[in-house]
Structure 1
């Protein structure tokens, strides 16, 4: 232990100087006058800087606020109504109003149904989005009066020269079907042979066809050379509407079995014959 606490003369001098240095530094720290240089601040620049910081804070606060997107007030849920600032009673009034199968079509009607305050209405009404037909209703036009009373043959217009616009006067024939009729007619060089060919236009119901033929009829039928059913070859039969090669083959086979057709209506006995098209097919056939 003695060796740890026994110092030489040089060591004692060193320890003395170290203690003396510490005491001097402590005295300097406590007794030396601390004069600080006054800092000059430009108050105008500081105010501008502070104002800019405040504006940035406001922008950040606005960004953090929940955004309200346009919505249809007829479909406000409990959560949506609460987030907009509506009370439970006001939300319940809206739901009760909608249960009557009624619709809110304006800000005024919304307030009448919910009894919300003017201040709340002014806050949320700019976000109301009603259907286009409510916001921009189309002006009412006069209803077209159709006259579907049957006309005599002389009074009827020629179906082969009628325009799409003229056909649209028939109740049930709009722009779409009138264009289809004209397009179908123009596929044949000379137009229709008879009114019954309207049955070949997909989508036309028997009721609509009847309305058309009450006003129009084929007055200038397309000239065709009829085919003798008892002499026709396969190549002749396949040129007829609604008859393909297989059906033509069956017609010829049945003709052999029957030793010739006695009536065009016997064709309905042929396998896979389109019975509903018989009147159209008969336009192209003869029985000699």
Structure 2
């Protein structure tokens, strides 16, 4: 009994050590008891943040997918421009075949004939042909007899020069009144004379049908002296004086040219923000890349 008692007799230092140990244990228990520690809440918060971040990524992907989708509107395939053909996915060779065919005053009157002229693949034709819009006299010849299109058979010599036509002469065309004739002449004076009939597209309020009637009677014969600029050599001031291109856009083109060292095709300019890509067919009258010279 005496030996057992000796095990419970401690010195002052040992007593202090035991007391300190008990105090530490009590403090730690108090910390765990009063502290609101819930690992599940942290995991839940992280999962919520990840979910929100994934939703943002999905919305960005959806927006980009919508922006990259080209919306096609009905159009007459006889008037496809280089830029329009490019956006549809046609190659330069296919577009050139169509333009050469049209230069002979020939017309494409069906999807099958379009494929025969251009050489587009069956898959390409299946995608774009549902949007072909031919004149009603083609799709319904009974309604529009052939003799009504005889005015389109005028030769180049029989047509009146668009650059010398008076307002009174222009008003002889059905659909062209005082307002439109005045706009045509004012715009003609502004650009120093029409270089090509296609510039009639820039006349506000002049729709396709009326423009077609105009070009069946009028055409550019006396072209103004225009020096076509090489876009890889032209300076800032020269570019800014080109119709459709102002000073700010000219500076953007110069920056793009320096960044890419050279511009192989004018269609590259559509990558520049604010560039009027829908007017590329008219801009080509004043500008060209190295391959065009």
TM-score, normalization by structure 2? 0.45
Specify the structure having the higher radius of gyration (Cα). Answer: 1
Higher helix share: 2
TM-score, normalization by structure 1? 0.46
